[in-house]
Chain A
Amino acid sequence: MGRGKQQNGPTKETAAPPNGRAQTGTKGRHQDGGKPEQLGLQTWGVFAAVVALTLGTRFYKLEEPDHICWDETHFGKMGSYYINRTFFFDVHPPLGKMLIGLAGHLTGYDGTFPFDKPGDKYGETKYIGMRSFCVCLGSTVVPLAFLTVWELTWSVPAAALAAALLLFDTGCLTLSQYILLDPIMLCFIMGAVFCQSKFDSLRNRPFSTCWWVWMCGAGCFIALAFSVKFVGLFIILWVGLKTVSDLWDLLGDLTLPLMVIFKHFLARALCLIVLPAAIYITCFAVHFHTLYKSGSGDGFMSSAFQSTLEGNKLYQANMPEDIAYGSTITLKNFRPAGGLLHSHWHLYPEGLGAQQQQITAYTHKDDNNLWIIKRYDRNPIPEDPLQFVQNGDLVRLEHVATQRNLHTHQEPAPITKRHFQVTGYGQNGTGDINDIWKVEVVGGAEKSRIKTVRSKVRFIHYMTGCALHSHSKTLPKWGWEQLEVTCNPFTRDKNNLWNVEDHINNQLPNGTFAVYQPSFLGKLLESHAVMVQGNSGLKAKEGEVTSQPWQWPLNYRGQRFSGVNATDYKIYLLGNPVIWWGNLALLAGTMLVFLVEAIRTQRGFVDPPHLAERKLVTLSAARWMATGWALHYLPFYFMGRVLYFHHYFPAMLFQSMLSAIMYDYFLQVVKHKVQPGVYRRIHQWGTAFISIILLHSFYLFHPLSYGMFGPLADNQTSPMYGLKWMESWEI
């Protein structure tokens, strides 16, 4: 891959006169690196080779397999929703899926393919456009890594190594070839890192046009990354940390007046806080504007939100407005992401309060959410005159499907022990005195009627005085992972409020009435509450192989993208083990170097000036890359949700760049210790060795990414025969 050109690379430092103040590294580096213009052509040559190889490897066999792979089933489907304009719910912010939808729309995909399950054939569907879009963004990672490392070290070998590590990694390759959010997010993360590095090199020219441009670039990219997946938070933290450290340096520069420092601060606040926030909010504005039709995500949202969706029952609502006795209603918990009061035939298990019928809150719409509102003292008879339910009335609620009454008693609730258990009790609508609830309308006058959707209602239990309550805690498997419903003795809790969502009563005329429409800000906050609840509720499905963070850097176990059996077209997401284990070794080496350098500094050892300065630049770059790696990796240890192998790839980007920078560091140290001739030989052999190893390992493992038929690796006829280096790989 054009590595021959790098031989001249190192000579650029030889003439380096020790230079200037250490902090203003970049300027020093320009002069230290000597004539970058002379090298320009060669650098650009290597860069061109990197780009060509990247595009070649990424676009090769892009159309295969011609069926849905892994999570394409989700993200392809969501792309279709954008094309069809139907509302849906997902735990990730909208940008990535919106871009996929846009790419599909522009390349002629009409949004009709159902994306049912992995393995379904695409047939005539135009899926190549969406894959091409993702692969384009995924490919940018490699050249951006080259440019970033070049910017940080001005060393061609390091830059080329960083690019090569990502280029020949089967994992990065596999992950960029499909309709997924990851290639999009990796691209934005790398973009932010690159812009930030560019910005850092312009430290000596503050407030110049370039300075503004690169800072705005970094601001845009962090916003974009965060708008694709919340993991983008870590790149925001990385940029934030860099900015704080930058400002701290400026503050320590006593030659700068405070006014200038304040200007620096304002500029950063503008470009790195205000601008990203604006972009993020714009994404949501476009999202709400695009999805104006009712769809699969309605049930997750509040009644008010649903009233904005065309096709929903509540859109220009057409139902009786005032609730009367005998009305069939659904009750929505009035909080962001609240569920509908729900019951089913299943009982609470033994040992958790009374073994009576479960009452839960459910975010999907179905017939088990229907309740009849009845007088407290008798069951309805047909001759009853129409009577409206009033604020302060005593009522009973009967579950339509099972004919049991909403009931509570002084037993602890299954999860929240300080609340009371709520059950379904009685037969054919006849229960006991514990079925009686008092209706309280918030802010309602005495004896005022209960309005569909608009009234916020509290149900106070007549005997115990507690209030019907629901929150975001999910029941375990016996409760079908629906939300817990309890009776809360603290009646003023804000989760005790409910509103009537659907209302059916044949005796009453349907009327249209205006439902209070939420503001944009209200919608934004509500969707975030729903996303947070959805994210924390992502538990592993039964039998699913879950992944632990410690396994990731080891490349311990990959992820099946397609195919299980010998006859299937198999694709397996797995890092190139040579690269991953090399990265891991270099990471350990880096930590050792940091430790040794710290102790040397503490004991007062001083390097010769030119080496010292070179080390300062390299180690500072390495430190920031290591920080990036840690920020994108360690937080996963504290996450409760289900984790997958591909969550490691942002960290892997930083790790690869770190490896490249450390390679440069070792070259520098070796160069300082040995004769120039020996050094040149070491350098040449090293380059050749690394190139061959990378190329060969890529050749060995390429079937994982490009797909393969045939039996598993323990069979001699398998393309992966003898390559199952770890027992845990499912190849």
Chain B
Amino acid sequence: VGPVRAPLLSIKTELNIPLLLLTVVAMATRMWRLEYPNSVVFDEMHFGRFASMYIRKTFFFDVHPPLGKLIIAFGAYLGDFNGNFTWERIGADYPSAVPVWYLRLFPALFGSLLVPLTYQTTVELGYNHWTAALAGGMVLFENSLVTQSRFLLIDSFLLFFILATLLCLLKFWRLKHSPFSLSWWAWLAGTGAMLACACSVKYVGVFTVLLVGGMIFHELWNLIGDKRLSVVRAHDLTSHFLARAGLLAVLPVVLYLLLFHLHMELANRSGPHDEMMTSAFQATLEGGLSRITKSQPVSIAYGSQITLRHTHGMFLGRPCWLHSHLATYPVRYHDNRGSSAQQQVTCYSFKDINNWWIVKDPGRTTVYVDDPPKLIHHGDIIQLVHGTSSRALNSHNVAAPLSPYSQEVTCYIDYNISLPAQNLWRVELVDGADEGDTWKSIQSHIRLVHVNTSAALKVQREQNNFLVSKPVLIVFCTTVDQADVVGNDEETFNQATYEDTMDDQPLMGFLGMFAELQWKMLSTNKELQQEHKYSSSPGEWPLMERGVAYWLHPRTNAQIHFMGNPVVWWSGVVGILGYLALLGVLLVRRRRACFDMDDESWQRYILTGELVLGGWVLHYVPFFLMERTLFLHHYLPALVFKILLLAVMVENIHTHVLRWPVHRNVFSALCAVWVTCIYLSYRKFAPLTYGNSDLSADEVTDLKWLDSWDLLIQVL
């Protein structure tokens, strides 16, 4: 009897039952009654609105990159959502036309997959399946992760991609003895792709880039130290460098750009956020400004009527235009400084008849456009006459209202002889101006330099609260080196017609638009500084001192409160401290030549520290330096790292610290009790996670384990 031959075609499968079980339970916890509550929960208001915008192909501006919103929009598309819902306030009920289940499907799906990912990552780190199941279980029964996955939010995508990056990286390292094999390339490319996805969901992904970058740098440094590898030979050092650079730097950048391209293709119609962008950007959107500008003259000539928009100035999220009105500066300010009491010049955030100015030739008294028009070049001297009041833009050596060190800017006409007119301005084109360049509407960015004093026109960000009731920004003159570009004019009307209108060519290419959008996203992110009722500071996160109220039933105390499983959350801190303490002891003992761990375990312990503890630090500490409004959910990436470390520490203590079987058995029993506590605490806080049960005031108070948790109790 010969040996049994293998069949011609066969599939060998292996079922990891615990893994499967974890995945199924995860799906169940994340997707159970997904449509409940049938109203807008917390930031669903924003992300839902963005999904509607995609569906309606409307341009919008958001501080987060597009991938997360694209996935949500895909869900909306699957559910045949027509985008007609206003997303006005938290708590508004969804009409039946909104496919809530589909909208919430993808966040829940990615959130469920986080559990098997955690399991697999723990295994790839080199720990056993008990540990992996423990890590997976903690992610599974972590109330905060459940809450964050069940709604129309993008954090579960972010967490998924971060962990997927980690998994790919570990798989890639597992193949370090067969470099340049097909699967080696595949996992390396996977790492790069997942990294790009993480960064394209939220910029927190940049911390993951730092983590992976640091680890890869470390790996390369070891490769340099490997003297068997030559620098010049093929498939050696240089190839290693190039492979990593290509797949971990170039590939993610390309993917990131592609996603933005997709974003701009999908949302290319004019919409409510147009005005945040420069005029050239707006002109590329369908409808909106491009309709107005198509027929208007390109070049500004003496006699043109224009509006001047500040290029970068944003006031409460809106742009502003150079503006004047009939009110004058008060004779004396609060601090007893005097003013010229001439007509105010401000920067106004709304389109208004008072934003119109006429470009006048100082040499002539008329304001007609000649035929052919006399165009304005870089360095030309002009006067700007305010359309409705016929006064000229003027500046002089009087302290500005809010900035006493700068010059006041006024509108002036020769009624008042106490101060001579100083109303000549030099036009300086900002971007790459040669002498011969003309001032073009929309495209040119100009700086207006006051001829008498060489000061330049600038807009102060601060709101003027005592001069007039309208929200305006104060304009003043300051030294040229501090001046910001004052603007590009947006609408031009020349009285004389001539054949110089805009053609259909878009004014900006994709890269230009991308650069502007990117710059605006990064600078706006910094501006979200206001404190929110439920905002918290990073110092409060590890011990979970405050949650976030997501939703409250209109009539009962049923509520959804974003907060974690306290048992997991607090024992995570112990895990971190435990790792550091054990590391310290082991290092000192190794220094004295006492080797407690075999070499392989030691390497694994160090790798865990670099990757997992390093990940926790990188995803947590930078928040201390951020000045924007922060919420507890910003801690979630760090939390996942913390959970991984905690599970791993349990195994390390079991195998390396405890020497006797009795101790190990006791420890295992304690762990079993602890795991039970995790489950029970998940159950206890489930009403706050799912918001499905009417709680009495006493029950809510009972859940308030810390005084600082702001659970809501309605007075009925």
Contacts and interface: CB of A to CB of B under 8 A. Distances in A.
Given A248-B591, A251-B592, A254-B592, A543 B404 contact: yes
Nearest to B625: A638
A604 interface: yes
Contacts of B531: 415-418
A153 B364 CA distance: 76
Contacts of B403: 542-543
Contact of B465 (A349, A604, A638): A349
- Majority secondary structure of chain B interface residues (helix, strand, loop or mixed): loop
B225 A602 contact: yes
Contacts of A603: 224-225, 227
A60 interface: no
17 contacts: A251-B592, A254-B592, A254-B593, A416-B531, A417-B530, A417-B532, A417-B535, A418-B531, A418-B535, A490-B707, A542-B404, A542-B405, A543-B403, A602-B221, A603-B225, A603-B227, A604-B225
- Name the 8 nearest CB pairs between A and B, nearest first: A543-B405, A417-B531, A602-B225, A349-B465, A251-B591, A602-B224, A418-B533, A252-B591
Contacts of A251: 588, 591-592
A349 B535 CA distance: 23
Contact of A350 (B227, B465, B530, B708): B465
Contacts of B533: 412, 417-418
A728 to B, nearest CB: 8
Nearest to B462: A477
A191 B131 CA distance: 54
Contacts of B625: 638
Interface in A398-450: 412, 415-418
Nearest to B222: A602
Contacts of B405: 542-543
A258 B225 CA distance: 34
Nearest to A491: B707
Contacts of A638: 625
A484 to B, nearest CB: 11
B307 to A, nearest CB: 26
A665 B710 CA distance: 63
A478 B588 contact: no
A254 B591 CA distance: 8
Contacts of B463: 349
A483 to B, nearest CB: 16
A723 interface: no
Interface in B579-602: 588, 591-593
A606 B463 CA distance: 66
Nearest to A601: B225
Contacts of B592: 251, 254, 258
A566 interface: no
Most buried by A among B404, B592, B593, B625: B592
Contacts of A254: 592-593
Size range of the chain B interface in the assembly: 20 to 34
Interface string B97-141: 000000000000000000000000000000000000000000000
A285 interface: no
Given A492-B707, A602-B225, A603-B225, 11 more contacts: A251-B591, A251-B592, A252-B591, A415-B531, A417-B533, A417-B535, A542-B405, A543-B404, A602-B221, A602-B224, A638-B625
Contacts of A252: 591
Contacts of B481: 727
A349 B334 CA distance: 14
A638 B221 CA distance: 30
Interface string A643-678: 000000000000000000000000000000000000
Contacts of A416: 531
Interface in A556-615: 599, 602-604
A527 to B, nearest CB: 24
Nearest to A418: B533
A397 B567 CA distance: 46
Q: Report which residue of A350, A416, A418, A542 has the largest number of chain B beta carbons within 10 angstroms of its beta carbon.
A: A418
A254 B531 CA distance: 56
Contacts of B591: 248, 251-252
Contacts of B530: 417
B465 A490 contact: no
Nearest to A417: B531
Nearest to B224: A602
Interface in B171-230: 221, 224-225, 227
A416 B531 CA distance: 6
Contacts of B404: 542-543
Contacts of B535: 417-418
A178 to B, nearest CB: 26
B465 A599 contact: no
A636 to B, nearest CB: 14
Interface string B526-554: 00001111110000000000000000000
Contacts of A350: 465
A638 B707 CA distance: 33
A416 B536 CA distance: 11
A481 to B, nearest CB: 14
Contacts of A258: 592
A239 to B, nearest CB: 22
Nearest to B624: A638
A397 B224 CA distance: 74
Contacts of A604: 225, 227
Nearest to A355: B465
A593 B481 CA distance: 37
Nearest to A251: B591
A599 B593 contact: no
B16 to A, nearest CB: 41
Nearest to B530: A417
Contacts of A492: 707
A490 B221 contact: no
A490 B708 contact: yes
A251 B592 CA distance: 7
A83 B465 CA distance: 46
Q: Of residues A252, A258, A727, which shows the largest number of chain B Cβ atoms within 10 Å of its Cβ?
A: A252
A542 B335 CA distance: 14
B281 to A, nearest CB: 29
A602 B223 CA distance: 9
Nearest to A543: B405
A433 B636 CA distance: 44
A599 B593 CA distance: 28
Nearest to A476: B462
B224 A599 contact: yes
A351 to B, nearest CB: 8
A417 B588 CA distance: 48
